[in-house]
Structures are given as structure tokens and as C-alpha cells.
Chain A
Amino acid sequence: MSKIIGIDLGTTNSVVAVMEGGSPKVIPTAEGRNLIPSVVEPAKNLVGDVAKRQMILNPKNTIYSIKRLMGRRISDKQVEKTKTMVPYEIVAGKDNIASVKVENKTYTPQEISAKILQKAKTDAEAYLGDKVEKAVITVPAYFDDSQRQATKQAGEIAGLKVERIINEPTAASLAYGLDKKKNETIAVYDLGGGTFDISILEIGDGVFEVKSTNGDTFLGGDDFDHKIIEWIVAQFKTENGIDLSLDKQALQRIRDAAEKAKTELSSSTETEINQPFITQGKDGNPLHLTIKLTRSKLEELVDDLIQKTIGPVKAALKDAKLKTSDINEVILVGGQTRMPKIQKTVKDFFGKESHKGVNPDEVVAVGAAIQGGVLMGDVKDVLLLDVTPLTLGLETLGGVRTPLIERNTTVPTSKSQIFSTASDNQPQVEINVLQGEREMAADNKSLGRFILDGIAPAPRGMPQVEVTFDIDANGILNVTAKDKGTGKEQKITIKNATNLTEEEVEKMKADATSHAEEDKKKKSLVDAKNQANSVSFELEKQLKEHGDKLDAVEKKKIEDNLKNLKNLAAKDNVSAEDLQKATQTTLESAQKIGEIVYKQQQTEAAKSGKGTEPAKGTEPAKGPESTKAPESAKTPPAGDKKDVKTPPPAGTKTAPPKPPGKESSAKDKKAKDSAEEGEVVKE
């Protein structure tokens, strides 16, 4: 079944959107932009950006603002006014309908608009990778029947079945989900590139009724640009005595700069207009244009334009027999409403904040796409896929929470990760399933725990325990732990893993944010302790193996450092920095071991004739593990491996304060890294 696209067929620009996976998406054009300039050159069949670029060259044949003629008679006032403004020829067509004449051929506004719609269709098909045959097209609320009919015909000429014509303000309300409201009055303030519309709507039982409309069909963002251009030209003239408006090339650069400045001043309060070498002075020296434009200056420049919009707003309210206080919702539409001053003016007028999206120039198309989705049956009752409101994870060594399924993941979903043991010959691992956003296990909610036992005796880090979290569409969480060596498996089923009230979720999220700093500290302390412990464990092992080759003084030094480190790690009130420092000192003193081992290796290598270059100038590997590179090959990749908290032998639930000999994944990674470094040195 083909999709129904939503098209905002605008006076200056058109936008296309479509529902995808239950949410609206604006379709980018072939040129990679989100909007199509509503410009057509019918003789050469150019549409959009391409047509706009050749407008100056080909003014008589380039049609823009065709919407102003849509479904109107040649005697219509609006047509008369448009006639004086555009360079192309407007003639009376069949039944005195306003049409345009290009190279002796007459085109109806329907045919011209159809070219834009055709491009919309082609771009949408390219984007969706599927045929598009149906559309919802928007029109201004004041369009009469013949104008609506003409718009529908335009769609049909373009090969689109027009499923519905909807009002632009209605589309905007749909985009903000206001159709779900009951008995409300909505004001839609739409200031686009070339036109201003204000519409008052009433919504009841999902049906929109237009109470009144008003506006100014010749007021828009372009007028704002002109004000800035005029100001820049005037400023330059007073400073340099040169009128830039006479220099077409300079004017072009100012036009671009003015638009850029306007956009920038919507987010910052000051901008610099910089156009070096804009022209030459009377003495032949180059002149540069550097002007600072502040937001308040801009607001002053365009104040009359903004005030001009208030008249029609008042008139529309009067027609609808309403007061500003009767308006429940205000919606801003059109790119120009990004300007903070406009937002403030509207807010002050209605006495309430307005709905404004990030892209006010796209909301109408988005609303049309939503309407299309409703017609397709896509939106009415979308299969609402749940998301997990909070992160699900498990407790790992040192009481740290390791996340498996991040919050906001759409369910059903499944994730698995390989963990390992933390001490030699560890017979079992305990899986503590956690829900929450905090870094430390204890601060999160424990959903359940179980033990996987029967792990064959092996050095720590060797056994591979695969833990799988699987949430089905009903929010039921299955946690499975499997020992890959023995194939032994243990599982737990937790119902309603996603079923939390909104308040609970909010509270847990808020907690996480407010404790983020403190949690991070706690976690880094645990990490530091884990590292200190594993370093001591490794060094003890190394000392046992190679200690006899060291001289007594050095051996004593290492042993002292080691003892100090172990004491420090056992303390509760130690800081992460101190621990890291102590770990570092211990490792440095232990470098002697590495030196001896390498020296021995080299001597052996030299004896066997395969002499390796002594690693001059290269730093000795940092970790003692470097001597044991082969071991790392046997362990799974560090990224996939975490050590699961070992339950104490007695079966009590809380782990004793970090007994030495446990190791964290962070250490594992480090060990592996240094192992690799070690290899580099050898080469």
C-alpha cells in the first residue's frame, strides 16, 4: 500500500512530509534541502531551486507566487495587484480564470502548481523507495471553493490522488496534537516568506471549525530582509559616502549577508556583518563593509512590520466575536516567527505562551502528513510500541551498575554480553538485575537476583558467562546467564519490567541527575580500588615468580609499596586520586621486574642467534602483565567482558569491602592494553 504524503503548497516555498513508523518526517528534496522554492519555468520544465536560479535571466518565463492566482478570476483584486508586481504575463484564460502566458502558451495556475507537486512526488518517491500516489494538500483557511477545487486539480494533474484538502492552520494544530483537545479556541499566527495569515479555530470532538481569518497577503519575512538591507546601505553611505545600492554585485552580497544576520539574531543578541572588499573608494582604495548589528537594533528596524500584524489579529478576533482571553492556544507558524521579538509580541498580545516548534516553517507539512497518516489508518491506532522507561543492568564488581539495555529502547528487544569471574576458582556468579539511572548498584532498584553455580575451577577472567536480557512486547523481562564452558544455564523472569508509573520514572530520572556528580565520584573510587587490588594481585604473582632475580633493596621497595597500596585500598575514606597515585608509584617501582625479565629474554634470544634489537629509547611497558602477553589472547575482548560480582562463599548477600584479588573490567582492559604495548616493545 502506498503512503499518503502531506504537502504544504506555499506561496514562496513548499514542504513535503510523510508519516514513518508512526511519526512525521520532512522529506528532503533532491537538492538536499527541506523546502522547494515555489518557482516554475514551464517552457524548460524547471522547478524549485533550479528555476529560481535562472529567474533574473528569464523573468518573463519564470513563474513564482502562483498561489496568489490560484482559482481566481482575472478581474479579482488580488490578481490585479499581483499583475503589477510580477514580471511574467498574467492573462485571462478559459472562463476568465487568471492564467499565465509563457512563450505563447497559456498555463493555468493548476498546471504550474502541478509542476511543484510533481517534484514533491518525485522527491518523495526517491526518499521512500516506493510509489507515491496519494496526498493531503494544505490551503489557506480563506481559500474559497473554487480555489480549493483548483488545488485539488493541480494534485491530479501531478498524478496524485488528493485524499483531502485541509486548512493550513488546522494542519498546524494537528502537528501540535491539538486535535485531542476538547472545546478549545486556537489562534494560528502564520508569518511566512511573503504572506501573513491569522486564523481563529475552534475544536470540538476532533473537528476543527474556522471561526475567522485575516491577514496581509503582502507582508512576510522578505520585507524584514529589505529593512536590514536598507539599513546597511544607509550606514555605509554615511561612513564612506558611497551608495552601495547602485552596485548590483555589492547589493547581492549585502542581500545574502542581511538574511544571514537576521537568522543569527534569532539565537544571539549581536552579529557582525563582514564583507571585505565590498567596493572601491573614490581614491581607488578598497573599502570593506564591517557593521555590527544588535538584536535590539533589528527589532527597532522592523518594529513597524511587527506592529502591522497586530491589526489583522484584532480584526480576526472581532470577527469571531472573541476576546484575547477566550483563546486557549496560540500557534506560531512560518520561518519569520523564529524571531524572538515576534514571539514576545504575540505572547504579550494573547497573554500566554505560544506553541512553537524548532521548525515553524515545516509544521504545516507535518500536520498534513499526520492527516495523511490518519487517512491511511496509520495514526488512528498505531501499534504503540513501548519503550523501557529506565535503564536495565546488573551489578558488577565493587557494586557498580553495568547497563545492558539503555532507557528509551523500544521493546521487544534483546541484549547479551559476556562477563567473567573476579577471582581464581570462583565457583559461582550472582546476577543482580537492576533498574535505574544511578551509577552505583545500591542506588538502583533491584528487580531480582539469582546465582549461576557449577562454574569449573579456573583462573579469574577465564570463564565466560553470557548474560542475556530479553524484554518481550508485554514488558516481561527474561534474564538468562549461561556458562559457555559447561553449558549450564540459569534464568529469572521479571514481569512488568517496563510497568512503572510516570511519577516513579520521573523521580528516578530526577534522582539520577541530582546525584550524577556524587555517583561519578563513587564509581571512580570503586574503579580505582578495583585497579589497585588487581595491580597488587598481579604484582604479588610476579614477585613470587621473578622476585628471586631482583636485588634485595629493590624487592623490599616493591613489597613496601605493595603493602601500602593494599592498606590504602582496604580503607573506606580514601580518595580515588590518592589510590591512583599509589597504584602508579607501585607500578613504577615494579618496572624493575619487567626490566629483568626482558634482559633475560634478550640474553636467551642472543644465545639462540635470533637477536632482537634492545628496545632502546622505548619506555618499558607499564603493566606487569606485559610479560604475559599470551594470556590475553585466551580471554575474550576487553570490551565484551566484565566481571560479575562474586557472592561471598557464605552466601550472604552483600559483598565484603573489596577483598584483594578481585579485578575490574577496567583493569582487564588495561592489562590487555599493556600486554599489547609489551609486544610492541619486543618487536
Chain B
Amino acid sequence: MKKSKKSTIVSLTNQLTEIQDKWKRALADYHNLEKRIASQQSQFVKLANAGLIDKLLSVLDNLETAQDHIKDKGLSLALTQFKDVLKSEGVEEIKAKGEKFDPEIMDCTDMTSGKKNIITKVTQKGYKLNSTVIRPAKVEVGSGTKK
């Protein structure tokens, strides 16, 4: 009788520890989730537009290429307006031409003659949204050889 009481105590104590452990873990999961949601929310507000803006950027690319070819005054005005809208949303063009190559914000697509590690040509403009890179600039980088 006594023995069974003891074993009951042991088994209950074990159960208690196990449950405490699980409870703590669930609580920890929950707290972490709360923290993460808070940080994600602020991130979300900042970057909520990233997906849409990224899609618009390829349209901007094409309009700019078109402008390079046809050099139309009206289109130029429209382009300025478009860029102003993006700017007001926190979109910022990554300066690349003539800069030193930086893989954090640029994507090298080719090497050409020119100063070593210096951007010789931007093949696709890169953009940041509220200081986060949403599209790295596609660039050609100098190889250190002369033309």
C-alpha cells in the first residue's frame, strides 16, 4: 500500500515536471511569437508595398528605355511624375555608375574593360524601399583592362 503511494507520488511528480516543461515551452513560444509579430508588423508597414513596387519597376524600366529611343517631351514629363510618386513612397534609386561594386546592393551580370571593380554600366537600375534593397542594380563591372 505504502509502496504504491510512493510510486504514485513519483509518477505524479514526473508528470508535473513534464507538464511544467511543456507549459513553459508553450509560453515561451507564445512570447516569442508576440515579439516577432510586433517586429514583423513594423517591417510589414514599411515593406507592404514592396511586391507591387517591384512589379511597377519593370514597367518603369521599359518606359525609360522607350524614352532613350524616342526622346519625347510628354513621355519625359510622365516619367518624372511616375518617379516622383515612387519617391514619395520611399523608393530610392541605387547609385551605381562609377561607384565601387558592392554585392549587397548590386548584381554583377558581366565584366567589361574599365577600371577594376568600378561600375562601367548599369543594365538594370536597382532600387531601395525605405533603405531595404528591393531590387539590386544589375551592373557591368570593370575588369581592370583598358579598351
Contact = CB atoms under 8 A, between A and B. Distances in A.
A53 B103 contact: yes
Interface of chain A: mostly helix, strand, loop or mixed: mixed
A631 interface: no
Contact of A286 (B69, B104, B109, B117): B69
B138 A252 contact: yes
B62 A57 contact: no
A478 to B, nearest CB: 23
Contacts of B106: 53
A57 B141 contact: yes
Contacts of B22: 383
A171 to B, nearest CB: 23
Contact of A55 (B68, B108, B138): B108
Contacts of A1: 25
B21 to A, nearest CB: 8
B135 to A, nearest CB: 11
Interface residue tally of chain A, by bracket?
A: 20 to 34
A206 to B, nearest CB: 22
Contact of A53 (B69, B108, B111): B108
B33 to A, nearest CB: 7
A129 B26 contact: no
Contact of A20 (B29, B101, B104, B132): B29
Nearest to B70: A286
B123 interface: yes
A276 interface: yes
Contacts of B35: 129
A349 interface: no
B121 to A, nearest CB: 8
Nearest to B64: A277
A21 B33 contact: yes
A286 B71 CA distance: 13
A53 B106 CA distance: 7
Interface in A1-21: 1, 20-21
Interface string A109-151: 0000000000000000001111000000000000000000000
Contacts of B29: 20-21
A248 interface: yes
Interface in B112-142: 117, 123, 132, 136, 138, 141
A56 B103 contact: no
A46 interface: yes
A21 B30 CA distance: 8
Residue from A53, A55, A248, A378 whose CB has the most chain B CB atoms within 10 Å: A53
A51 B69 CA distance: 35
Contacts of B141: 56-57
Nearest to A50: B103
Contact of B65 (A32, A57, A248, A277): A277
A408 interface: no
Given A276-B65, A276-B66, A383-B22, A46 B109 contact: no
Contacts of A50: 103-104
Contacts of A276: 62, 65-66
Contact of B109 (A51, A252, A378): A252
Nearest to A276: B62
A277 B103 contact: no
A248 B109 CA distance: 8
B110 interface: yes
Contacts of B65: 276-277
Contacts of A56: 108-111, 141
Contact of A130 (B32, B62, B66): B32
A277 B101 contact: no
A54 interface: yes
Contacts of B62: 276-277
A269 interface: no
Contacts of B33: 20-21
Contact of B110 (A32, A51, A249, A286): A249
A51 B103 contact: yes
B95 interface: no
Interface string B1-45: 000000000000000000000100110010011011000000000
A54 B32 contact: no
Interface in A30-58: 32, 46, 50-51, 53-57
A1 B111 CA distance: 49
Nearest to A1: B25
Nearest to B138: A252
A54 B66 contact: no
Contacts of B25: 1, 378
Contact of B123 (A127, A252, A277, A383): A252
Contact of B111 (A57, A128, A130): A57
A21 B111 CA distance: 48
A127 B40 CA distance: 10
B34 to A, nearest CB: 10
Given A1-B25, A50-B103, A128-B32, A57 B108 contact: yes
A127 B36 contact: yes
A51 B107 CA distance: 9
A46 B22 CA distance: 39
Nearest to A20: B29
Nearest to B69: A286
Contacts of B109: 56, 248-249, 252
Interface string B64-95: 01101100000000000000000000000000
19 contacts: A1-B25, A21-B26, A21-B29, A32-B132, A46-B103, A53-B106, A53-B107, A54-B103, A55-B108, A56-B108, A56-B141, A57-B101, A57-B108, A129-B36, A249-B109, A249-B123, A277-B65, A277-B69, A378-B25
Given A57-B108, A252-B138, 15 more contacts: A1-B25, A21-B29, A46-B103, A53-B106, A53-B107, A53-B108, A53-B136, A54-B101, A128-B32, A129-B32, A249-B109, A277-B62, A277-B68, A286-B69, A383-B26
Interface of B: 22, 25-26, 29, 32-33, 35-36, 47, 62, 65-66, 68-69, 101, 103-104, 106-111, 117, 123, 132, 136, 138, 141
